[in-house]
Amino acid sequence: MQIPTGHQHPLTRMIAEINDIFSKIGFEFAEGPEAELETYNFDRLNVPKDHPSRDMQDTFWFKSTDVSAPTVLRTHTSSVQARYMEQNEPPIKIIVPGKVFRNEATDATHEAQFYQLEGLYVDQGVHMGHLKGTLEYFFSEFFSGKTEVRFRPSFFPFVEPGVEVDMKLLEGESKLAGKWIEVMGAGMVHPNLLKVAGIDSEKYSGIAFGMGIDRLGVMKYGVEDVRDYYTGDLRFVNQF
Amino acid sequence: MKVVHNWLKEYLGEQLPDAKTVEDLLNLHAFEIDGVEEKAGETVIDVDVLPNRSSDCLCHRGIARELATILDVQMEYDPLASVPQFSGTDAIKVSVADSSACPRFTASLITGIQVGESPSWLQSRLQALGQRPINNIVDATNYVMYAIGQPLHAYDADLFPKVDGAWQFDVRYAQPGETVSLLAEGGKEEDRIVELTGTELLIVDGSSDTPIGLAGVKGGRYAGVHAATKNIIIEAAHFHPTLTRKTARRLGIVIDASKRFENEPSRELPPFGQQEIIKLITDIAGGKCEGVLDEYLESTTNPQVTVTQKKTNALLGLQLTIQDIAQLIQRTGSSVELSADSLVAQGPFERSDLHIEEDFIEEVGRLYGLDKITSVVPDATQIATINTRQYYTEKIRQCLFTLGFSEVVTTSFHKKGKIQLQNALASDKSYMRSNLSKNLHAALDVNFSHTDMLGLRDVRVFEIGTVFAKSDTAITEHLSLALGVRTKGNGFTAPDERILVGACDALEETLSTSLAWEKEKGVAELNLSTVIDSMPAPTKYDDLPVQDPVVFKAVSLYPAISRDIALWVPAGVSALEVANQLNASAGDLRLRTDLFDEFTKEEKTSYAFRMVFQASDRTLTDEEVAQIMEDVYQTARTKNWEVR
């Protein structure tokens, strides 16, 4: 009897799809460490020293006896923004899918570990219109239907202006169709990030965005409990 | 921040739109709305004030100001419109040990008040916010905080001993081991005695050096207002936000006053707090203000910022004139000096978030309307660099899928290990994983008991993920690949090894390189980072395999029951046709049907199916399943299929 074909985990499947969609418009796949230096996870992202997110309750810290410089489990893939801009000159056009960690109580919509997708595009003349167009293209491809995006004001230390992004699938039978759904945070790269990376903020500007891949799966497939991604249970995986 | 819709009328008058419009305006131009409720006869809107606006918008005046800005109207009454003028007082003195920790301290003396119940309009506003009215003095301090964002504290002046004819407040750091008594927390009877470490800032009664409150964090019962209180001192100050936050976090105190101090309201605010409360108390409790002490030790002013037309349009992707930009910025209450193609702006004192050009550009964008930004459709572009990790991990995955291996993603936390986190989520998650094999063994165990539900004869899984190690000075990490096989329920057996070796060989062939596996009991693992580093750079990603549409169903927590059925059918009747008939009569509780045996003899074919049943809301009984199978047999008989 023939061996049934194995199944790809929805997270890595979505990452492959995301990469496929973004590679067609010139975004390269970048990566960085999960055990990250405090400086890349916070300082170089313009997160002030006394910012609440550095508190023990949100961030996992490695023991100071194990490291020569303060090290955390990265709380977002934004840390790769700081690393990449330090090592590369504009134009920069990257996506960073990867695992991140938050020291938070878990429930059906929160896991202490989850996957995030970061996007960064720095060049001359990049503006909010590029952000909107890029995201509309991505969601339309990812959810297989024409998708509109709207911005609402928001705040993240690494962008200014910062926005919350809602998407609306304009067509199709999906449960998502026809309503605004909050999907991610985004904005124009804060000039402090460009400066600390040695990029002239008068000459260059950039867009940045970040969203949870686990949540994209909740929307795309109807996954009800995000903890199911990490159980190793094939009754979950083999449905994909 | 809970906002009582009617309260906003104080500041906006008839210009205040209905609650639904307020929600929509704030949502699209300022803050998200977390919910709306009717409480104590009021409509209460829960506004999720952004962190950079928590200094000025955690109060009704702030939200009203924001609405006036969005609507481009003048506030009918703005409590912050002009700087209050008070007569001073020698009756109250303050000594501040560290002016950066407490840059401003004000205190007013009000005599001849009458403590009693608050008027009903005030009570219902506090109740709408979820606050229990106490008496008119305490209620007034709370009311002013929710109105303009300045926390205040009231003392009974006659219970507060004097030094040389004056009340003496000291603001100093605690001594290590010193204690302070704080007001009982919600629902508790007894006050909380807190032992201090020395980093906390205290409000102290200078007459006896007695700590009476934790500055910015919480007050005590000392010299508290009671039914017979006649003369009161009202304190309104500014405390360092970080200092306040650290003390509040350490002691686990989160109250409305500490939340406001933590977010650094303007140093200009305390006198406005005094002005509002003196007005309110003399209105509702009588009495007379005898004077106000204002010790302003360190002031700050908002910077003057140059905003250019060029940069504004370059970031927002708009074509605004400098006059447009000036008008939008002026709506925030900022002052503007206009030039040919730029302007110099200065935010109003209560806005602590307007420091750089981009901050003002954000204001322009959200007030002009982020919906007016036009999408730039991205061009199709070739990428120069292929990510080797993504390329080769996908190649490995596709190879393993054809061999029947499914992919899992498991926890990065272990119960035991070498690298312990400083602050773990739980005792069984306090170490970082140094291999994938451990989780894979667990996945084999768990999944083997589900093979019927999965329609599998054996379990084959793999994971590609990060594992951690320790060097002398840092935490290191690499990508690991592990695969595991389980063919028998009682653990590792020889057939597992044969399948595993076959898969390892297939991967060597796919990657055209030799691989150094570590194998143990049906699980093989290797350092994938070193393998990928030695591979040639790819030039193009492989095409994405086509995926069938996914119909996801949550995994049931209840056990499944399997039943086998074998039957003879005339040769030429397909297994699918038979299965469809059986499935139709089996109903909704059937999870799956798998063909596990098939042979043809003369004119007849024998099919053997395993049917699996499971409910999403309960444990199925044998009787229920027996009844279902009886229906299935009946269907077979009516088709003249011989059940074996």
Spatial CA neighbour of B616 closest among B550, B554, B552: B554
Which tokens is B509 given? Answer: 């062939």
Mark yes or no for CB contact A6/B53 under 8 Å: no
Query: What's the farthest any 2 CA atoms get from each other in chain A?
Result: 66
Give the 3-state secondary structure of residue B369: coil
pLDDT bucket at B365, cuts 50 / 70 / 90? very high
For testing contact with chain B, the best of A1, A2, A9 (most B CBs within 10 A) = A9
Residue B427 has pLDDT above 80, yes or no: no
For testing contact with chain A, the best of B409, B434, B528, B557 (most A CBs within 10 A) = B409
Report pLDDT for B554.
85
Pick the CATH number of A10-230 from 3.30.450.40, 3.30.930.10, 1.10.357.10, 1.10.1270.20: 3.30.930.10
Residue B221 has pLDDT above 60, yes or no: yes
Distances (CA, A) of B238 to B139, B299, B561, B632, B636: 21, 11, 67, 78, 83
Which tens digits make up the pLDDT trace of B15-66? 999 999 999 999 999 999 999 999 988 999 999 999 899 999 999 999 999 9
Residue B404 has pLDDT above 60, yes or no: yes
Mark yes or no for CB contact B544/A34 under 8 Å: no
Measure the CA–CA gap between B27 and B21, rounded to whole angstroms: 10
Measure the CA–CA gap between A154 and A181, rounded to whole angstroms: 15
Mean pLDDT (chain A) is: 93
Which tens digits make up the pLDDT trace of B499-533? 999 999 999 999 999 999 999 999 999 999 999 99
Measure the CA–CA gap between B379 and A93, rounded to whole angstroms: 13
Contact B31, B48 (CB under 8 A): yes
Report pLDDT for B253.
86
For residue B464, what are the β-bridge partners? Answer: B481
Residue A1 has pLDDT above 60, yes or no: no
Measure the CA–CA gap between A114 and B438, rounded to whole angstroms: 20
Contact B530, B478 (CB under 8 A): yes
Mark yes or no for CB contact A71/B474 under 8 Å: yes
CA angle B341/B343/B347 to nearest 5° reads 155
Q: Minimum mean pLDDT among A79-93, B182-196, B292-306: which range?
A: B182-196
Report pLDDT for B602.
85
Residue with tokens 């005898």: B290
Mark yes or no for CB contact B387/A29 under 8 Å: yes
Which tokens is A110 given? Answer: 């929160």
Report pLDDT for A40.
95
The helix or strand, by DSSP H or E, that contains position A38, with its residue range, turns out to be helix A38-41
Measure the CA–CA gap between B45 and B31, rounded to whole angstroms: 12
Report pLDDT for A49.
81
Which tens digits make up the pLDDT trace of B552-573? 888 888 888 889 999 899 988 8
Mark yes or no for CB contact A236/B432 under 8 Å: no
Report the gap between the CA of B315 and the closest CA in chain A (Å): 5
Which tokens is B316 given? Answer: 């927002």
Measure the CA–CA gap between B278 and B276, rounded to whole angstroms: 6
For testing contact with chain B, the best of A14, A22, A62 (most B CBs within 10 A) = A62
Which tens digits make up the pLDDT trace of A92-142? 999 999 999 998 888 888 899 999 999 999 999 999 999 999 999 999 999
Contact A216, A12 (CB under 8 A): no
Measure the CA–CA gap between A143 and A221, rounded to whole angstroms: 10
Cβ-nearest to A232 among B366, B446, B554: B446
pTM for this prediction: 0.90
DSSP B484: E
Measure the CA–CA gap between B142 and B150, rounded to whole angstroms: 9
ipTM of the complex: 0.95
Nearest CA in chain A to B598: A1
Mean pLDDT (chain B) is: 93
Residue A194 has pLDDT above 90, yes or no: yes
The domain limits of chain A are 10-230
pLDDT bucket at A55, cuts 50 / 70 / 90? low
Which tens digits make up the pLDDT trace of B252-273? 888 899 999 999 999 999 999 9
Q: What percent of chain B has pLDDT over 90?
A: 77
Cβ-nearest to B555 among A130, A222, A235: A235
Report pLDDT for B176.
94
Which tokens is B276 given? Answer: 């509002």
Mark yes or no for CB contact A133/B375 under 8 Å: yes
Contact A166, A149 (CB under 8 A): yes
Q: How far apart are the first and last CA of chain B?
A: 71
Report the gap between the CA of B4 and the closest CA in chain A (Å): 22
Residues B187-213, mean pLDDT to the nearest whole number? 89
Contact B289, B109 (CB under 8 A): yes
Spatial CA neighbour of B481 closest among B451, B538, B523: B523
Residue A52 has pLDDT above 70, yes or no: no
Cβ-nearest to A125 among B314, B394, B453: B314
Residue A56 has pLDDT above 60, yes or no: no
Domains and CATH numbers, chain B: 2-71 (3.30.56.10), 92-296 (3.50.40.10), 305-372 (3.30.56.10), 388-533 (3.30.930.10), 561-643 (3.30.70.380)
Measure the CA–CA gap between A80 and A103, rounded to whole angstroms: 20
For testing contact with chain B, the best of A8, A28, A87, A163 (most B CBs within 10 A) = A8
Residue B470 has pLDDT above 70, yes or no: yes
Which tokens is B109 given? Answer: 């003396």
The helix or strand, by DSSP H or E, that contains position B39, with its residue range, turns out to be strand B32-39
Angle separating helix axes B136-148 and B60-71, nearest 10 degrees: 30
Q: How far apart are the first and last CA of chain A?
A: 22
Which tokens is B402 given? Answer: 């054809």
The helix or strand, by DSSP H or E, that contains position B532, with its residue range, turns out to be helix B528-533
Nearest CA in chain B to A166: B28
Q: Which residues does chain B have within 8 Å of residue A150's beta carbon, measured at their own beta carbons? A: 370-371
CA dihedral sign, ordered A113, A115, A121, A127: negative
Which tokens is B183 given? Answer: 């007001």
Report the gap between the CA of A33 and the closest CA in chain B (Å): 7
Contact A152, A128 (CB under 8 A): no
Report pLDDT for B186.
65
Mark yes or no for CB contact A127/B317 under 8 Å: yes
Residue A173 has pLDDT above 90, yes or no: no
Q: Which residues does chain A have within 8 Å of residue B423's beta carbon, measured at their own beta carbons? A: 56, 60-61, 103
Mark yes or no for CB contact B419/A20 under 8 Å: no
Q: Which residues does chain A have within 8 Å of residue B48's beta carbon, measured at their own beta carbons? A: none
Answer with the residue of higher pLDDT: A2 or A22.
Answer: A22
Mark yes or no for CB contact B50/A12 under 8 Å: no
Q: Please tell me if residue A125 touches chain B, with a CB cutoff of 8 Å.
A: yes
Which residues 157-196 of chain A have a CB within 8 Å of chain B? 160-164, 188, 190-191
Q: What percent of chain A has pLDDT over 90?
A: 84
Report pLDDT for B151.
97
Measure the CA–CA gap between B106 and B273, rounded to whole angstroms: 9
Report the gap between the CA of B439 and the closest CA in chain A (Å): 8
pLDDT bucket at A53, cuts 50 / 70 / 90? low
